[in-house]
Chains A and B, each alone.
Chain A
Amino acid sequence: KAGVTQTPRYLIKTRGQQVTLSCSPISGHRSVSWYQQTPGQGLQFLFEYFSETQRNKGNFPGRFSGRQFSNSRSEMNVSTLELGDSALYLCASSLWPGGDQPQHFGDGTRLSIL
C-alpha cells in the first residue's frame, strides 16, 4: 500500500515569493492535515481538510492556505514568504478527521527561504 507522498521534497525560495506544496494521501484516506516542523517550535498544526472542506485551522497567518480536491489530494500555499517560513512541512492522512485518528505522515517538503 503506497504511503503518503509529498512533492517536492526540497524547495528553495526567496523572500516575497509564494510556494505551493502537494500531498497525495494513502488510498482511501479522506482526511489530510498539514504541519510545520521547526527546531524551535517543533510540530505545529496548520490545518485539516476533509471532503474538500477545511475543518480546523491552527494559529498561523492568512498567508498560509490550503485546499483539498475531490480525490482527497491536498495542496498548501504560502504567499509572501518570510525567512521564518523556512521549515519542514509535513502532510498526514487519516481515514477520518479528528485528533484521535492515527496520522500517517509523508516524508515532508523542506522549504528554505533565502
Chain B
Amino acid sequence: TQLLEQSPQFLSIQEGENLTVYCNSSSVFSSLQWYRQEPGEGPVLLVTVVTGGEVKKLKRLTFQFGDARKDSSLHITAAQPGDTGLYLCAGQEAGGANNLFFGTGTRLTVIP
C-alpha cells in the first residue's frame, strides 16, 4: 500500500491545454514537496508547501496543499512540451518516520 497516491498515473495532452494532478493520502503530512523528473535524470524539486490551505505559484504551475494537510494538487496552465516529465509528490508524515515518502507518480506528455 502506497502512502501517497497520485492520479492520473498517465496523462497525454495537447500543447496549450490545462491539467491538474492530484496527490492523496489518508495520512497527515507536516510538509509536502513536488518534484519533476526527466528521463535519465534525478528528480528536481519544484516547490515545498507546509501550511494547510497554502497555494504557491511557479509561473504556469499552481500548487495547493489541502486544508487537512492530507492531499495536494498541481495545476498547469497552457501546458508546453517542456512540461513533459514524471511529476512526483513527496511528504513527511506528521508524527511518523522522519523520512520522505514519495507518491506513485504522474507521467505527463505534452504533444506539440
Contact = CB atoms under 8 A, between A and B. Distances in A.
Chain B contact patch, size range? 20 to 34
B45 A103 contact: yes
A100 B99 CA distance: 8
Most buried by B among A33, A102, A107: A102
B78 interface: no
A55 B102 CA distance: 18
Most buried by B among A43, A44, A55, A97: A43
B92 A100 contact: yes
Interface stretch (B10-18, B35-43, B65-73): B35-43
Most buried by A among B41, B50, B93, B100: B100
Contacts, number: 67
6 contacts: A33-B99, A98-B98, A99-B30, A100-B48, A107-B42, A108-B42
Interface of A: 4, 33, 35, 42-45, 48, 55-56, 58, 90, 92, 97-100, 102-108
B16 to A, nearest CB: 29
